[in-house]
Amino acid sequence: MLSASFYTSLDVSQRYQGDYGIILGLNFKDNATEDVVTRYYMMNIDTMTGNPYFFPNPVLQSGIFEIDNENFIDIDTISVFTKDFPNQDEYSTVYDIHIKDISLKGVKVLNSDDLSSYSLNLITAKGYIFTADSLSTDTRTIEAQLRAQSKLVAMDSEEVSIYWFIQNVAVTSAS
């Protein structure tokens, strides 16, 4: 799984055309010849959710690629690109696209039995709604409850990693 946060501040005249993203080059052993073969995987505007020309806040995007796990050797390259944006000549570059927190992780494809035996429940004991009477200092607690193979997993386990992120930093309890 390839993930990265994207932020754009493109001029309105450039928000209708063009492509950008990340290209990942991975090296594999060719079984027939024993040579090293580089295969490329791309995460671009076609694989992003939301409007890729208008991300006023950093937005986490992910792409999952199936690879030949047995013949995988190493990462050859991680490249970023832009192309075909309007109002550009061959020497100009789009500086209004920002990419940060590039992450590459190995993930396992879950079958239907796995999917039914893994779950994450978010528990809000005091509710999850802020009413008009709520103060701007009011808070709500969220507790995560993870089940793996239908068994409750201790959240302080070293094998559990939980990441919280803010999708829209402008949203507060007063929103």
Same domain, 7 and 83: yes
Q: Which of 46-50, 76-80, 134-138, 155-159 has the highest mean pLDDT?
A: 76-80
- Give the range of the structural domain holding residue 126, as residue numbers without chain letter: 112-153
Share of the chain above pLDDT 70, in %: 86
CA–centroid distance for 92 within its chain: 28
| Predicted pLDDT at 121 | 81
pTM over cut 0.75: no
Q: Judge whether 21 lies within some domain.
A: yes
Same domain, 124 and 140: yes
| Predicted pLDDT at 73 | 95
Q: How many domains does the chain have?
A: 2
User: What is the C-alpha separation between 84 and 124, in angstroms, rounded?
Assistant: 47
Same domain, 61 and 89: yes
| Predicted pLDDT at 38 | 97
- Residue bearing the bigger pLDDT, 81 or 172: 81
Q: Judge whether 73 lies within some domain.
A: yes
Same domain, 132 and 48: no
Question: Which band of pLDDT confidence, cut at 50, 70 and 90, is reported for residue 118?
Answer: confident
Lowest mean pLDDT among 31-45, 81-95, 124-138, 140-154: 81-95
| Predicted pLDDT at 171 | 60
**Mean pLDDT value of segment 19-44:** 96
Dump pLDDT digits (tens) for 82-99. Answer: 888 877 656 555 568 999
Closest by CA position to 70, among listed 28, 108, 36, 26:
28
Same domain, 63 and 138: no
Same domain, 12 and 94: yes
- Residue bearing the bigger pLDDT, 129 or 154: 154
| Predicted pLDDT at 167 | 61
Kind and range of the H or E element at 34?
Answer: none
Q: Judge whether 171 lies within some domain.
A: no
